[in-house]
Chain A
């Protein structure tokens, strides 16, 4: 979004004010739409695409204060800069506007030069915010980015109930040795794209990419309705995606891929670890270790998706599973009940 040519919404119940503000904004080279009260303005904003709001305070239906309250409560709208224009008298009005998140306050009649400067400044701030947001999303997944932007960054974590998934490509070393580095990177990118899509579609967050493997969390940092069910559904979709990819690879005379997925549910410590300069969102705990063990066990069990007892119980029979009995994993004091998600022979 350039400073010029932005899309602005002017909200004012007074027709003269509305026309004049819209005229000023248009003369500055921006696109402008108008609304005559706060209710209509919110409807238009929710349809999307606005870069900045020029907002009156005294309006019927929803007034400017109420509009700003609703903007602040809506994650999709709270980053839209707001310039308040009003002829209400008294500092209290200005203070309240700033407290509600207004970027600026201009007294009516609005000076056109001042309006231009304030619009330019607000759009520039929005451009930088958007840029920062895009950068964070590129490296941290949209869920973690949303958490960071909403809660801010602090090292440390909290105990949460979540479902953890580990997944890797079977026999990847053999594949690597049989093809060039470019093809390997392309394959990994395709694989990651498919896995990320399947996981994100169920509300999960990929928080680690480890060579030919990944770790995903369901239920943190953002809540998911049923983390165990979401994780298993994501795993089934991942297996299906690999099937489709293999069909394509077979037509090109390439070897089929196989994946193993381990899923466990329970308490984890989730949060940001590292240093103030470099940190990552992750989770640790027995549940994480168990999910990793289950994923490793898929080779021995010759099954594509293995889950623990807690995940199986949470599914409540909604996904067919096969009990494989108790397995003693390294590092675990007691044997763990293991279940294979049905229809998943070694993927």
Chain B
């Protein structure tokens, strides 16, 4: 799964911020992501398009920070695509996130 992460971007992040700090940052993302997803699902259930867009935007930004490009692309599609008719796209994003976080942790810890 580490293949879905852009090693160059991740390496630049480690170089700029420090490898130890990036471990903490990935852990923070792992802690924060469930909240972002809860917001995404709640906004979808409520039909709140702007809230939905913001939650997807946050996920996209964080994914891109770590070079998790596949996650970033899917989150961007949700951000710009408006409220989806059902939760399938959200479920797909969730699955991708669930696979991405362990990969990021693995990369961060070398």
Contact = CB atoms under 8 A, between A and B. Distances in A.
Interface of A: 13-17, 19-20, 23-24, 27, 58, 87-89, 108-109, 112-113
B2 interface: no
Contacts of A19: 24-25, 28
Given A27-B17, A112-B16, A20 B25 contact: yes
Interface in B1-33: 9, 13, 16-18, 21, 24-25, 28-29, 32
B44 interface: no
Contacts of A24: 16-17
Contacts of B16: 24, 27, 112-113
A108 B32 contact: no
A15 B60 contact: no
Contacts of A15: 28, 32
Interface stretch (B61-69, B83-91, B94-102): B61-69
A113 B18 CA distance: 14
A87 B17 contact: no
A108 to B, nearest CB: 5
Contacts of A16: 25, 28-29, 32, 62, 65
A125 B99 CA distance: 46
Given A16-B32, A87-B60, A89-B80, A23 B17 contact: yes
Contacts of B57: 58, 87-88
Contacts of B62: 14, 16-17
A113 B16 CA distance: 8
A15 B54 CA distance: 14
A16 B22 CA distance: 10
A109 B21 CA distance: 16
A73 to B, nearest CB: 26
B58 interface: yes
Highest count of chain B CB atoms <10 Å: which of A13, A16, A20, A87: A16
Shortest Cβ-Cβ A-B pairs, 4 listed: A112-B16, A109-B65, A87-B61, A16-B62
A19 B96 CA distance: 24
A287 B88 CA distance: 79
28 contacts: A13-B58, A14-B61, A15-B32, A16-B28, A16-B32, A17-B61, A17-B65, A19-B24, A19-B25, A20-B25, A23-B18, A23-B21, A23-B25, A24-B16, A24-B17, A27-B16, A27-B17, A27-B18, A58-B54, A58-B58, A88-B57, A89-B80, A108-B61, A108-B64, A109-B13, A109-B64, A112-B17, A113-B16
